[in-house]
């Protein structure tokens, strides 16, 4: 399988793990704040190179994060995960949650140990499609959330707090939808490489605003973290 990139050491991608990161190209969303460097890039490397590196560094690397782009749009994802599983290493997948059937298959086949779903916006309205830049079947995202919540696997949710898309009210609504979940990450928005030129002009929320949103989210989600501030 062709991959877009490989990060040998990505220590902040999985709390408590020395993880490598495999990045897959392509995405079915067009989030205006995405830097597109992976969503639109060419796949320049064979996954076998990444697998070989991880295999030869298992004394240090004890996990791998499969991210993108959007991993679940790739038919070869199963083959990649099977090759990684054969290394007897912990695997996390990042997804936008748009492909619940594929996620269900992967989880059911025990090909991953942890799932992170990016929840872009409140799950109750049209703002989701605006956040994703394409028409989104929000029920599919809800089904993905249901799949991982009932899977027995470790899982977390992540929301990029983008001004004009996710404010304190929206963050509260997202957190409420995830009520009872174990873990939520509030990701700071980075305007510098946003695909939409208008987004590049937007100022990220001050750190204190994210802290207040995180405090509010704790009413619903047990473990809330802020990243990127
Ligand atoms: S889901 Fe959005 S942010 Fe993630 S890779 Fe796709 S377009 Fe970019």
Query: How many distinct structural domains can be found in the chain?
Result: 1
In the 8-state DSSP scheme, what is residue 44? Answer: -
Q: Find out whether 93 and 106 touch, Cβ atoms under 8 Å.
A: yes
Nearest ligand 1 atom to alpha carbon 160: 3
How many whole angstroms from 100 Cα to the centroid of ligand 1? 16
**Structure confidence at residue 221 as a pLDDT band (50, 70, 90):** very high
Q: Is the pLDDT of residue 36 over 90?
A: no
- pLDDT value of position 61: 95
Q: What is the CATH number of the domain that holds 172?
A: 3.20.20.70
Q: Measuring CA to CA, how many Å separate 133 from each of 26, 29, 37, 163?
A: 14, 6, 16, 15
Q: Which two tokens stand for residue 94?
A: 């990042």
Give the C-alpha separation, 178 to 220, whole Å.
7
- pLDDT value of position 193: 83
Domain that includes residue 134, residue range: 2-227
**pTM for the full model?**
0.95
Which residues have C-beta atoms less than 6 Å from ligand 1?
27, 29-31, 34, 38-39, 68-70, 96
Among protein residues, the one with the nearest Cα to ligand 1's atom 5 is 69
- pLDDT value of position 181: 87
In 3-state terms, the chain is what percent helix, strand and coil (to 5)?
35, 20, 45
pLDDT digits (tens, 9 = 90+) for 18-27: 999 999 988 9
pLDDT digits (tens, 9 = 90+) for 147-178: 999 999 999 999 999 999 999 999 999 999 99
**Structure confidence at residue 124 as a pLDDT band (50, 70, 90):** confident
Q: Find out whether 26 and 68 touch, Cβ atoms under 8 Å.
A: yes
How many whole angstroms from 94 Cα to the centroid of ligand 1? 11
3-state secondary structure of 42: coil
């Amino acid at each position: 399988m062709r991959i877009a990139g490989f990060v040998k050491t990505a220590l902040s991608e999985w709390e408590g793990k020395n993880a490598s990161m495999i990045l897959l190209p392509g995405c079915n969303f067009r989030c205006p704040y995405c830097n597109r460097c992976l969503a639109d890039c060419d796949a320049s490397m064979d996954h076998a190179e990444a697998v070989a590196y991880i295999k030869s560094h298992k004394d240090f690397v004890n996990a791998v994060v499969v991210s993108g782009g959007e991993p679940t749009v790739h038919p070869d994802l199963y083959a990649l995960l099977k090759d990684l599983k054969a290394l007897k290493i912990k695997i996390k997948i990042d997804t936008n949650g748009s492909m619940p059937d594929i996620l269900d298959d992967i989880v059911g086949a025990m090909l991953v140990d942890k799932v992170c779903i990016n929840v872009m916006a409140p799950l109750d309205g049209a703002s989701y499609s605006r956040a994703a830049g394409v028409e989104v079947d929000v029920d599919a995202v809800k089904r993905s959330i249901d799949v991982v919540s009932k899977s027995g696997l470790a899982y977390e949710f992540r929301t990029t707090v983008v001004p004009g898309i996710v404010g304190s009210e929206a963050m509260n609504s997202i957190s409420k939808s995830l009520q009872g979940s174990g873990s939520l990450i509030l990701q700071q928005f980075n305007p510098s490489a946003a695909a939409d030129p208008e987004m590049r002009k937007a100022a990220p929320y001050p750190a204190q605003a994210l802290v207040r949103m995180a405090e509010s989210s704790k009413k619903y989600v047990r473990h809330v973290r802020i990243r990127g501030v």
